[in-house]
Amino acid sequence: MKKHHLQRLAAVVLALTMLFSICLPLSAGKPIRAYYHVSTTEKAIALTFDDGPHPRFTDSILEILEKEKIPATFFVIGSNVEAYPDVMQRVITAGHEIGNHTYRHPIVKTVTDEEMAWEIDKTDEILRSIGYSGNGLFRPPQGKFSDTLPALLEKTNKTAILWNIDTRDWAHTPSEEIVSTIEKNVCGGDIILFHDYVSGESTTIPAIKKLIPMLKERGYQFVTVSELLSLRDS
Protein backbone atom coordinates (compact mmCIF):
# COMPACT_ATOMS: atom_id res chain seq x y z
CA MET A 1 0.00 0.00 0.00
CA LYS A 2 1.28 3.47 -0.89
CA LYS A 3 2.29 5.81 1.89
CA HIS A 4 -0.56 8.29 1.34
CA HIS A 5 -3.09 5.42 1.38
CA LEU A 6 -1.72 4.28 4.72
CA GLN A 7 -1.93 7.84 6.05
CA ARG A 8 -5.55 8.12 4.91
CA LEU A 9 -6.40 4.75 6.49
CA ALA A 10 -4.76 5.86 9.76
CA ALA A 11 -6.80 9.10 9.71
CA VAL A 12 -10.06 7.18 9.19
CA VAL A 13 -9.21 4.73 12.00
CA LEU A 14 -8.37 7.64 14.32
CA ALA A 15 -11.61 9.45 13.44
CA LEU A 16 -13.67 6.31 14.08
CA THR A 17 -11.88 5.65 17.36
CA MET A 18 -12.59 9.20 18.51
CA LEU A 19 -16.23 8.97 17.47
CA PHE A 20 -16.84 5.71 19.31
CA SER A 21 -14.81 6.62 22.35
CA ILE A 22 -16.89 9.76 22.69
CA CYS A 23 -20.37 8.45 21.90
CA LEU A 24 -20.49 4.92 23.26
CA PRO A 25 -21.24 3.94 26.86
CA LEU A 26 -17.75 2.92 27.90
CA SER A 27 -19.11 1.48 31.12
CA ALA A 28 -20.42 -1.53 29.23
CA GLY A 29 -18.98 -4.75 30.61
CA LYS A 30 -17.35 -3.18 33.67
CA PRO A 31 -17.83 -5.13 36.86
CA ILE A 32 -18.90 -2.02 38.80
CA ARG A 33 -21.39 0.75 38.31
CA ALA A 34 -19.16 3.28 36.54
CA TYR A 35 -20.28 5.69 33.87
CA TYR A 36 -18.19 7.69 31.43
CA HIS A 37 -21.24 8.49 29.36
CA VAL A 38 -24.90 7.57 29.36
CA SER A 39 -26.50 5.83 26.41
CA THR A 40 -29.64 7.83 25.66
CA THR A 41 -31.65 9.06 22.70
CA GLU A 42 -32.30 12.35 24.54
CA LYS A 43 -30.24 15.43 23.68
CA ALA A 44 -29.31 15.79 27.34
CA ILE A 45 -25.86 16.44 28.78
CA ALA A 46 -24.41 16.86 32.26
CA LEU A 47 -21.91 19.56 33.17
CA THR A 48 -19.74 18.53 36.13
CA PHE A 49 -17.42 20.73 38.20
CA ASP A 50 -14.68 19.19 40.36
CA ASP A 51 -12.40 20.17 43.23
CA GLY A 52 -14.47 22.91 44.91
CA PRO A 53 -16.18 24.42 46.66
CA HIS A 54 -13.83 27.38 46.65
CA PRO A 55 -14.34 31.15 47.01
CA ARG A 56 -12.22 31.92 43.94
CA PHE A 57 -14.42 30.55 41.16
CA THR A 58 -17.42 28.62 42.49
CA ASP A 59 -19.66 31.67 42.99
CA SER A 60 -18.95 33.01 39.47
CA ILE A 61 -19.88 29.62 38.03
CA LEU A 62 -23.08 29.60 40.14
CA GLU A 63 -24.01 33.02 38.75
CA ILE A 64 -23.71 31.78 35.16
CA LEU A 65 -25.75 28.64 35.91
CA GLU A 66 -28.37 30.77 37.63
CA LYS A 67 -28.55 33.19 34.70
CA GLU A 68 -28.92 30.29 32.25
CA LYS A 69 -31.33 28.47 34.62
CA ILE A 70 -29.55 25.14 34.31
CA PRO A 71 -28.45 22.57 36.90
CA ALA A 72 -25.00 21.02 37.22
CA THR A 73 -23.24 18.45 39.37
CA PHE A 74 -20.37 19.43 41.68
CA PHE A 75 -17.89 16.74 42.80
CA VAL A 76 -16.60 18.29 45.99
CA ILE A 77 -13.51 17.76 48.11
CA GLY A 78 -14.51 17.24 51.76
CA SER A 79 -11.74 19.44 53.19
CA ASN A 80 -12.93 22.31 50.96
CA VAL A 81 -16.52 21.81 52.14
CA GLU A 82 -15.20 22.05 55.70
CA ALA A 83 -13.15 25.18 54.91
CA TYR A 84 -15.86 26.94 52.86
CA PRO A 85 -19.26 25.78 54.15
CA ASP A 86 -20.90 29.04 53.05
CA VAL A 87 -19.84 28.50 49.44
CA MET A 88 -21.06 24.90 49.63
CA GLN A 89 -24.36 26.05 51.08
CA ARG A 90 -24.88 28.40 48.12
CA VAL A 91 -24.32 25.49 45.70
CA ILE A 92 -26.86 23.37 47.60
CA THR A 93 -29.41 26.21 47.93
CA ALA A 94 -29.21 26.82 44.19
CA GLY A 95 -30.42 23.24 43.71
CA HIS A 96 -27.35 21.69 42.13
CA GLU A 97 -26.32 18.10 42.66
CA ILE A 98 -23.35 17.17 44.83
CA GLY A 99 -21.05 14.17 44.45
CA ASN A 100 -18.25 12.89 46.69
CA HIS A 101 -14.69 13.52 45.41
CA THR A 102 -12.84 12.34 48.58
CA TYR A 103 -11.67 14.43 51.54
CA ARG A 104 -8.09 15.30 50.54
CA HIS A 105 -8.05 14.34 46.84
CA PRO A 106 -5.52 11.47 47.03
CA ILE A 107 -4.89 9.33 43.95
CA VAL A 108 -6.54 6.03 44.85
CA LYS A 109 -3.46 3.83 44.44
CA THR A 110 -1.39 5.99 46.81
CA VAL A 111 -3.53 5.25 49.87
CA THR A 112 -4.65 2.10 51.65
CA ASP A 113 -8.19 0.77 51.35
CA GLU A 114 -8.87 1.88 54.92
CA GLU A 115 -7.68 5.40 54.14
CA MET A 116 -9.84 5.57 51.00
CA ALA A 117 -12.89 4.33 52.94
CA TRP A 118 -12.21 7.10 55.48
CA GLU A 119 -11.87 9.71 52.67
CA ILE A 120 -15.31 8.76 51.33
CA ASP A 121 -17.05 8.44 54.71
CA LYS A 122 -15.59 11.67 56.08
CA THR A 123 -16.78 13.66 53.05
CA ASP A 124 -20.28 12.14 53.29
CA GLU A 125 -20.36 12.99 56.99
CA ILE A 126 -19.40 16.66 56.36
CA LEU A 127 -22.01 16.95 53.63
CA ARG A 128 -24.66 15.46 55.92
CA SER A 129 -23.68 17.89 58.68
CA ILE A 130 -24.54 20.82 56.43
CA GLY A 131 -27.79 19.27 55.33
CA TYR A 132 -26.98 17.38 52.13
CA SER A 133 -27.84 13.72 52.19
CA GLY A 134 -25.73 11.78 49.72
CA ASN A 135 -26.98 10.55 46.40
CA GLY A 136 -24.30 7.88 46.07
CA LEU A 137 -22.29 9.58 43.33
CA PHE A 138 -18.50 9.31 43.60
CA ARG A 139 -15.69 10.49 41.35
CA PRO A 140 -12.18 9.22 42.09
CA PRO A 141 -9.42 11.88 41.83
CA GLN A 142 -8.07 12.01 38.26
CA GLY A 143 -10.63 9.34 37.38
CA LYS A 144 -8.17 6.66 38.53
CA PHE A 145 -9.06 3.28 39.99
CA SER A 146 -7.24 0.63 41.98
CA ASP A 147 -7.97 -3.10 41.96
CA THR A 148 -9.80 -2.80 45.27
CA LEU A 149 -11.78 0.41 44.70
CA PRO A 150 -14.74 -1.34 42.97
CA ALA A 151 -15.34 -3.53 46.06
CA LEU A 152 -15.15 -0.48 48.31
CA LEU A 153 -17.65 1.43 46.16
CA GLU A 154 -19.94 -1.59 46.16
CA LYS A 155 -19.76 -1.74 49.94
CA THR A 156 -20.46 1.98 50.34
CA ASN A 157 -23.22 1.85 47.70
CA LYS A 158 -21.55 4.39 45.44
CA THR A 159 -21.76 4.78 41.68
CA ALA A 160 -18.54 5.93 40.02
CA ILE A 161 -19.01 8.83 37.62
CA LEU A 162 -16.21 9.56 35.19
CA TRP A 163 -16.50 11.67 32.03
CA ASN A 164 -16.19 11.30 28.28
CA ILE A 165 -15.23 14.90 27.49
CA ASP A 166 -12.32 16.36 29.44
CA THR A 167 -12.19 20.10 28.80
CA ARG A 168 -8.65 20.19 30.22
CA ASP A 169 -9.54 23.44 31.98
CA TRP A 170 -7.24 22.21 34.78
CA ALA A 171 -4.34 22.71 32.30
CA HIS A 172 -5.54 26.26 31.51
CA THR A 173 -6.66 25.29 28.03
CA PRO A 174 -7.79 28.50 26.28
CA SER A 175 -11.56 28.97 26.53
CA GLU A 176 -11.93 29.15 22.70
CA GLU A 177 -10.30 25.72 22.42
CA ILE A 178 -12.60 24.27 25.12
CA VAL A 179 -15.66 25.62 23.28
CA SER A 180 -14.57 24.32 19.89
CA THR A 181 -13.66 20.84 21.26
CA ILE A 182 -17.12 20.48 22.77
CA GLU A 183 -18.84 21.99 19.74
CA LYS A 184 -17.22 19.35 17.49
CA ASN A 185 -17.67 16.33 19.78
CA VAL A 186 -20.80 16.81 21.86
CA CYS A 187 -23.63 14.28 21.72
CA GLY A 188 -26.57 13.31 23.95
CA GLY A 189 -25.56 11.46 27.11
CA ASP A 190 -22.22 13.24 27.48
CA ILE A 191 -20.68 13.87 30.88
CA ILE A 192 -18.40 16.89 30.60
CA LEU A 193 -15.55 17.51 33.04
CA PHE A 194 -14.86 21.06 34.26
CA HIS A 195 -13.34 22.36 37.51
CA ASP A 196 -14.60 25.04 39.87
CA TYR A 197 -11.15 25.18 41.41
CA VAL A 198 -7.83 25.27 39.52
CA SER A 199 -4.54 26.81 40.54
CA GLY A 200 -3.88 30.09 38.72
CA GLU A 201 -6.42 31.65 36.41
CA SER A 202 -9.51 29.77 35.28
CA THR A 203 -10.53 29.45 31.63
CA THR A 204 -13.68 27.61 32.73
CA ILE A 205 -15.79 30.73 33.28
CA PRO A 206 -15.36 32.35 29.83
CA ALA A 207 -15.76 28.89 28.26
CA ILE A 208 -19.13 28.10 29.89
CA LYS A 209 -20.41 31.62 29.19
CA LYS A 210 -20.09 30.90 25.45
CA LEU A 211 -20.78 27.21 25.54
CA ILE A 212 -24.12 27.05 27.36
CA PRO A 213 -26.05 29.40 25.01
CA MET A 214 -24.44 27.74 21.98
CA LEU A 215 -25.51 24.24 23.11
CA LYS A 216 -29.01 25.46 24.02
CA GLU A 217 -29.27 26.86 20.51
CA ARG A 218 -28.41 23.40 19.19
CA GLY A 219 -31.26 21.87 21.19
CA TYR A 220 -29.33 20.39 24.11
CA GLN A 221 -30.82 20.34 27.58
CA PHE A 222 -28.66 20.43 30.68
CA VAL A 223 -29.34 17.93 33.46
CA THR A 224 -27.66 16.67 36.63
CA VAL A 225 -25.75 13.40 36.50
CA SER A 226 -28.60 11.60 38.35
CA GLU A 227 -31.12 12.93 35.86
CA LEU A 228 -28.88 11.83 32.98
CA LEU A 229 -28.66 8.33 34.48
CA SER A 230 -32.45 8.22 34.67
CA LEU A 231 -32.62 8.94 30.90
CA ARG A 232 -30.64 5.78 30.06
CA ASP A 233 -32.03 3.73 27.16
CA SER A 234 -33.46 0.51 28.49
Q: Which CB sits closer to Zn ion, 195 or 220?
A: 195
Minimum distance, C-beta of residue 217 to Zn ion, in the bound complex (Å)? 30
The CA-atom distances, in angstroms, between 71 and each of 67, 87, 145, 226 are 11, 16, 28, 11
DSSP 8-state assignment for residue 105: -
Q: Which of 37, 54, 96, 195 is catalytic?
A: 195
The residue with its CB nearest to Zn ion is 50
Beta strands 165-166; 159-161: pairing state: unpaired
Between residues 37 and 54, which has the closer beta carbon with respect to Zn ion?
Answer: 54
Catalytic: 121? no
CB atoms within 10 A of CB 137: 22
Residues 6+ apart with CB under 8 A from 185: 18, 22, 165
Rounded to whole angstroms, what are the CA distances from 37 to 40, 49, 68, 190?
A: 9, 16, 23, 5
| Shortest CB 105 distance to Zn ion, Å | 6
- Give the contacts of 173 (CB within 8 A, at least 6 positions apart): 167, 203
147 is catalytic: no
- The two counts, helices (H) then strands (E), for the chain are 9, 9
Positions touching Zn ion (CB under 5 A) are 50-51, 141
Return the number of the residue (108 or 228) whose C-beta is nearest Zn ion: 108
Q: Residue 99 or 141: which CB sits closer to Zn ion?
A: 141
Please report how close the Cβ of residue 69 comes to Zn ion at its closest, in angstroms: 27
H-state helical runs in 31-174:
58-68, 78-83, 85-93, 113-129, 149-155
List the catalytic residue out of 50, 51, 190, 196. 50
For 130-196, where are the alpha helices, taking DSSP H only?
A: 149-155, 175-185
144 vs 218 by CB, closer to Zn ion: 144
- In the complex, the smallest distance separating the C-beta of residue 144 from Zn ion, rounded to whole angstroms, is 10
Closest CB 228 distance from Zn ion, rounded Å: 20
Which residues are designated catalytic? 50, 195
